[in-house]
Structure 1
């Protein structure tokens, strides 16, 4: 029986240095993380090993930019630890955070197939983070060799597009209270009873398409009424029924 050795690649040396990482007590190697990713579900292990060939690791500090909007899109990211936020800056310098990626999630895979070959947003470490950089060329070659991977990517990108269409429709037709209720309920479904806001209140207001003053008034009013409690980024929902009534128009049958 053939033994397959799993490798991780360090970003510290231009001439890629291979180091064995399947020692006891260490993090799972990249090939193992990839094998459990939704894009590779049901695919042969050779796909993950192919993506590992020229991969690199990067340990980022809080606030470190991983790539800028307009940079050449040479790699996508797989988050190993910490969080990575995707954002854009307006002409007056204000920033808008579009998403926060958790460990096990892939960042900017769609940019690997964009005709202009550039990143459409910035990526920044939210706190200390460790990521794997998967090259554009390896991902494209894997899609050509294993069409099932390309189909999985199309399904994922289609789901993301559908979610964005629903979000635009929801924001254009909903009130500030309805948007906040839906956001908090979705966070609670993922995180449990204690909610940790991944965005500060200014960023959250921009994400929901409302004024920061409106968001602050909503939190203050809901606390006074006993719907929620908390401060800064730590919150709890006490009246789910009320928030569900507010958020009900956002729920779709498919």
Structure 2
């Protein structure tokens, strides 16, 4: 069994080889075609997951039935691990493949046993979950305190910094990214066109090139 994806996931970085093998003893490899759901909001939760390839979006339905994208999970990242600590063992979100993807499913029961036996591992996981919560809080602040231009530009700058490149392949269709940013697809397209007309970026299909990263960052100071 190839455990490289798990070894490269921050959640598992504190495990030695024996612990990693134990965690993966009943690991399930799950291929998902684009658009297929791995689980839905309210389903019973017995596993958490690591993305091996592709992109998974986590969504939640609002009170009026509107779908909101909460996170987009990429290769090497884990999701749904916090559910093992909840009293109600049910997924609070829906997980759906944005593109053809493969995820690795690990049982909550087995991993929780490792946490119980190794306090250092438990503290490591607590730190990872805290960092994720902190990141989401920061994201909520940006979405609630800033306008649509700032949200889109902040996203694009973050993607450039994540990939260390100004040539990007958008991780999801524009409507998914727009939902993640709390704007409409029409607003997303209008803002992209504005940035294109100003020569800041170019977009062909899903391929986006930032011509002037400095100018893009300047928008964050203006808005």
Counterpart residue number, 1:18: none
Distance 1:143 1:65, change over 3 A: same
Residue 179 of structure 1 aligns to a residue in which SS?
A: helix
Give distance in 2, aligned partners of 1:54 and 1:211.
Answer: 41
Residue 127 of structure 1, CA deviation: 2.4
Aligned to 1:234: 207
Pairwise CA distance, 1:46 = 1.7
| Structure number, greater radius of gyration | 1
Q: Aligned to 2:174, which of 201, 208, 211?
A: 201
Could you tell me which residue of structure 2 aligns to residue 168 of structure 1? 140
**Residue in structure 1 matched with residue 160 of structure 2 by the alignment:** 188
| Paired residues of 1:40 and 1:47 also in contact (CA < 8 A) | no
Q: Unaligned regions of 5+ residues in structure 2, if any?
A: none
How many angstroms does 1:126 deviate by? 2.4
1:94–1:172 distance in 2 versus 1, CA, 3 Å: closer
Please identify which structure carries the higher helix content: 2
Give 1:248 deviation, angstroms: 4.4
Deviation at 1:135, TM superposition (A): 0.3
Which structure 2 residues correspond to residues 11-30 of structure 1 after superposition, within 5 A? 29-30=2-3
Q: Which runs of 5+ in 1 are unaligned?
A: 1-6, 8-28
Matched, 1:158 2:130: yes
1:54 equivalent in structure 2: 26
CA drift at 1:70: 0.4
Deviations 1:88-135 (A, max 9, x none): 234555432222222222121112222111101111122222222100
Structure 1 counterpart of 2:94? 122
With normalisation by structure 2, the TM-score equals 0.90
Residues in 2 aligned to 1:86 and 1:178: alpha-carbon distance in whole angstroms: 23
* CA shift for structure 1 position 68: 0.8
Q: 2:187 aligns with which of 214, 224, 233?
A: 214
User: How many residues end up aligned between the 2 structures?
Assistant: 222
